[in-house]
């Protein structure tokens, strides 16, 4: 058990450079919330629903993280900071990272039967701050959900979702194979490159316009000067012989 805990804490340390020791990680609210959830989930599976809810509410009071006892969570799950909500039928794979203020929310069943109504996150998914993933959708392996994105459709493996409503951006292969990217959003994604290209083209266009204006001004000046010189000829000095 101690070795499993050490492996878990080391997995968090690999994703978070802030802690100076494993002992410090033991104070993280996400670690405590996951520990309480393991107990609550065991009680939930034993159909001790009231006790499971009691543990869940105590954990939420202590950590500001609300994980329903029915949620299924894999190995090395890391919630960085708090204020996260995970619904009853959510399923989370191994080595998943979630940042603060994330919701794995459910849809309201029209037939009154609960069923699967919360998201499924595959292995190695990263969810950025404030993201909302809603409904019985699947977020594929190694996918990234950017900060404040709202995701209501399935996410392909390796995709990066940004915006409201979230859209997929193509991530280069060298980014896709990285083990971990903080906050799930590459700093130099394809959308950013498009914006840089547009700004560069606009700058070049403005420079060309300035050069054309200068050439026009020079040509007009060259056309005016000879005519001006022919009209105002200098007077000859002296007297005629």
What DSSP string describes 129-196? TT-EEESS-EE-TT-EE-TT-EE-S-B-TT-EEETTTTEEE---HHHHT-S--GGG--TT-HHHHHHH
Indicate if the pLDDT at residue 20 is higher than 60.
yes
Q: Is 81 helix (H, G, I), strand (E, B) or coil?
A: coil
Q: What are phi and psi of 121, to 5 degrees?
A: -105, 120
Q: Looking at residue 173, what is its pLDDT? A: 47
Comparing 4-18, 157-171, 193-207, the range with the smallest average pLDDT is 193-207
Exposed, middle or buried: residue 59 (CB in 10 Å: 0-12, 13-18, 19+)? buried
Note if the pTM is more than 0.75: no
Exposed, middle or buried: residue 241 (CB in 10 Å: 0-12, 13-18, 19+)? exposed
| Position 225 confidence tier, pLDDT thresholds 50, 70, 90 | low
Listed in sequence order, the DSSP H helices in the chain are 2-15, 22-25, 29-45, 49-63, 173-176, 190-231
Q: What is the pLDDT of residues 157-167, one digit of tens each?
A: 999 898 888 77
| Position 227 confidence tier, pLDDT thresholds 50, 70, 90 | low
| Position 192 confidence tier, pLDDT thresholds 50, 70, 90 | low
Q: Which are the contacts of 48, defined by CB distance < 8 A and separation ≥ 6? A: none
Which conformational region is residue 144 in: left (phi greater than 0), alpha (psi within -120 to 50 degrees), or beta? beta
| Position 11 confidence tier, pLDDT thresholds 50, 70, 90 | very high
Our CA dihedral for 175, 134, 121, 136, rounded to 10 degrees, sits at -130
| Position 33 confidence tier, pLDDT thresholds 50, 70, 90 | very high
Cβ–Cβ under 8 Å, residues 109 and 115: yes
Cβ–Cβ under 8 Å, residues 215 and 195: no
Q: What is the pLDDT of residues 105-148, one digit of tens each?
A: 998 766 666 789 999 999 999 999 999 999 999 999 999 999 99
């Amino acid at each position: 058990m101690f070795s499993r805990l050490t492996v878990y804490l080391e997995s968090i340390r690999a994703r978070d450079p802030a802690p100076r020791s494993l002992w410090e990680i033991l104070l993280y609210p996400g670690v405590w919330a996951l520990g309480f959830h393991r107990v609550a989930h065991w009680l939930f599976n034993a159909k001790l629903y009231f006790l499971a809810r009691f543990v869940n509410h105590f954990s939420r009071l202590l950590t500001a993280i609300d994980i329903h006892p029915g949620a299924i969570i894999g190995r090395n799950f890391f919630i960085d900071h708090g204020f996260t909500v995970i619904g009853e039928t959510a399923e989370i794979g191994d080595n998943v990272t979630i940042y603060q203020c994330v919701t794995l929310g459910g849809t309201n069943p029209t037939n009154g039967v609960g069923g699967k109504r919360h998201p499924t996150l595959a292995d190695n998914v990263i969810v950025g701050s404030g993201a909302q993933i809603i409904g019985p959708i699947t977020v594929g392996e190694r996918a990234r959900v950017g900060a404040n994105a709202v995701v209501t459709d399935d996410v392909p493996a390796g995709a990066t979702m940004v915006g409201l409503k979230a859209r997929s951006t193509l991530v280069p292969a060298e980014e896709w194979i990285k083990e971990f990217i903080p906050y799930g959003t590459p700093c130099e994604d394809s959308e950013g490159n498009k914006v840089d290209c547009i700004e560069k083209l606009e700058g070049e266009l403005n420079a060309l316009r300035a050069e054309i204006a200068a050439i026009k001004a020079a040509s007009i000046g060259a056309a005016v000067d000879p005519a001006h010189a022919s009209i105002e000829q200098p007077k000859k000095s002296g007297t005629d012989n």
